[in-house]
C-alpha cells in the first residue's frame, strides 16, 4: 500500500506545487521518485520527528501542503506535543502519514507497533483520521487528504496487503463504504485487517450467516448514519481493528450508539487487548495470537450471535 500511496502523491504533486514532503531519515525505496522530481520540495531533517513536525507546520503556514512521512508510531507519539500545539492548534495544512499501522512491523517489537495511535489522534481537535484498507482506498484517501484543508492523519499499510475492493471506489471523507450487504450482523472494520474480516464472513456465509461488511475508513469524522442504519437493520454490530481495544474504531462506534440511542441487538469490539503487545513475529502470526485472524474473528461472531439468540 505504501508504494501506491507514494505513486499517487507524486502524480498529484506534479499538478500541485504546494505539496512538500518532510521526512525523518526513513522511507527509502519508495520516496526517491518524489525526491528526485522535486528536490526543492523535499526535506530530510534526520532522525528528529519533533523537528520534522515543526518544519512541516512552518511550511504549511506559508500557504503550502506539508506531508510528514515515517514508519509506525514515530510520526505521532514522538512528536505528539508538536502535532497538538503546532499543527492542530493552528489548524495547519499538515498531513501526517504513517507507514505500517498496527503490528505491520511485528518482527521489530512493540517499539515499532502503532497500536494506540487512533485513540490519541482522535482526541485532538481539527484533525481528520483516515485508515484505508487496500490499494483502491489508499488512492482515494490520498486525493481526499490533499483536497482537505487542515490537519490530516493517514494510517497507511506497509506492503503486500490484499485488495478488498475489485476496483476504484467512491471515496469520501466521513462516508463509509459497504463492501457487502447482509442482514444477520454488520462487521465494521478499518485498515488492511479487513481482508481477515472478509474471509471470516465467507466462512460464516457457508453456515447460513449473512454478514454486512462495512469499511469504516474514516475514524474522524465517523459515519454516524452507517452505524445507526446497521444497528436498526441488521442483527448487531461487531467492530474489528488492529489497534488497542481502548479508544479506536470500537470506541468511536460505541460512542455513536450511546449518543443516538440506536442500540443494536448485539455489539462487540474485536481488537488487540489492553496490553503491551510484546510478542515478536510476523503480522499475521501476531494477529492470530489475539484472535484477529479470520478463524478467530469468525469464532467471535458465532459467540456473539449465540448470545443474542
Taking the domains of the chain in order of start, what are their residue ranges? 2-156, 177-308
Domain 2-156 has CATH 3.40.50.970: yes
Same fold, 2-156 and 177-308: yes
Average predicted confidence (pLDDT) for the chain: 96
pTM of the predicted model, to two decimals?
0.96
At residue 211 the predicted structure's pLDDT band, cuts being 50, 70 and 90, is very high
Between the ranges 105-109, 126-130, 158-162, where is the mean pLDDT highest?
Answer: 126-130
For the cut 80, the answer to whether the pLDDT of residue 307 exceeds it is no
Secondary structure element (H or E) that encloses residue 68, with its range: strand 65-71
At 177-203, the pLDDT tens digits run 999 999 999 999 999 999 999 999 999
Model confidence band, residue 160 (pLDDT cutoffs 50, 70, 90): confident
**Given a cut of 90, is residue 205 above it in pLDDT?**
yes
State the pLDDT confidence band at 308, using cuts at 50, 70 and 90.
low
184 CB-near residues (< 8 Å, 6+ apart) = 209, 210, 211, 234, 235, 305
Going through 142-278 in order, the beta strands assigned E by DSSP cover: 152-156, 177-180, 185-189, 211-215, 218-220, 237-244, 267-272
Tell me which fold the domain 177-308 belongs to: Rossmann fold (3.40.50)
CA–CA distance, 204 with 299 (Å, rounded to integer): 9
Phi, psi at 262, each rounded to 5°: -90, 70
Q: Give me the pLDDT at residue 159, please.
A: 83
Quote the CA–CA distance of 226 and 261 in Å, as a whole number: 14
Residue 309 has pLDDT above 80, yes or no: no
Phi and psi at 240, nearest 5°, equal -135, 130
d(CA 118, CA 269): 15
HSE-CB for 159 with a 13 A CA cutoff: 8
Model pLDDT, residue 144 = 98
What pLDDT does residue 286 have? 96
Confidence of residue 22 (pLDDT cuts 50, 70, 90): very high
Residues of the chain with pLDDT > 70, as a percent, come to: 99
Q: What is the pLDDT of residue 68?
A: 98
Q: Which residues are catalytic?
A: 49
Amino acid at each position: 500500500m505504501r508504494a501506491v500511496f507514494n505513486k499517487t502523491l507524486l502524480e498529484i504533486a506534479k499538478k500541485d506545487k504546494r505539496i512538500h514532503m518532510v521526512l525523518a531519515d526513513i522511507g527509502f525505496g519508495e520516496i526517491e521518485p518524489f525526491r528526485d522530481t522535486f528536490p526543492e520540495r523535499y526535506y530530510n531533517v534526520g532522525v528528529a520527528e519533533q523537528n520534522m513536525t515543526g518544519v512541516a507546520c512552518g511550511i504549511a503556514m506559508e500557504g503550502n501542503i506539508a506531508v510528514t512521512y515515517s514508519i509506525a508510531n514515530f510520526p505521532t507519539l514522538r512528536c505528539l506535543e508538536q502535532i497538538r500545539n503546532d499543527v492542530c492548534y493552528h489548524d495547519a495544512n499538515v498531513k501526517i502519514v504513517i507507514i505500517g499501522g498496527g503490528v505491520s512491523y511485528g518482527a521489530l517489537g512493540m517499539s515499532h507497533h502503532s497500536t494506540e495511535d487512533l485513540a490519541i489522534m482522535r482526541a485532538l481537535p481539527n484533525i481528520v483520521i483516515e485508515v484505508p484498507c487496500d490499494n483502491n482506498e489508499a488512492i482515494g484517501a490520498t486525493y481526499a487528504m490533499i483536497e482537505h484543508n487542515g490537519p490530516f492523519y493517514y494510517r497507511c499499510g506497509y506492503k503486500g496487503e490484499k485488495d478488498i475492493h475489485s476496483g476504484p471506489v467512491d471515496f469520501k471523507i466521513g462516508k463509509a463504504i459497504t463492501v457487502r450487504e447482509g442482514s444477520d450482523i454488520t462487521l465494521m472494520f478499518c485498515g488492511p485487517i479487513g481482508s481477515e474480516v472478509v474471509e471470516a464472513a465467507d466462512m460464516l456465509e457457508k453456515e447460513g450467516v449473512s454478514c454486512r461488511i462495512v469499511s469504516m475508513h474514516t475514524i474522524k469524522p465517523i459515519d454516524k448514519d452507517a452505524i445507526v442504519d446497521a444497528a436498526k437493520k441488521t442483527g448487531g454490530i461487531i467492530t474489528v481493528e488492529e489497534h488497542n481495544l481502548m479508544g479506536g474504531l470500537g470506541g468511536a462506534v460505541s460512542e455513536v450508539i450511546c449518543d443516538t440511542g440506536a442500540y443494536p441487538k448485539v455489539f462487540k469490539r474485536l481488537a488487540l487487548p489492553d496490553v503491551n503487545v510484546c510478542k515478536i513475529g510476523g503480522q499475521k502470526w501476531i494477529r492470530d495470537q489475539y484472535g484477529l485472524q479470520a478463524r478467530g474473528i469468525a469464532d467471535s461472531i458465532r459467540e456473539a450471535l449465540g448470545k443474542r439468540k
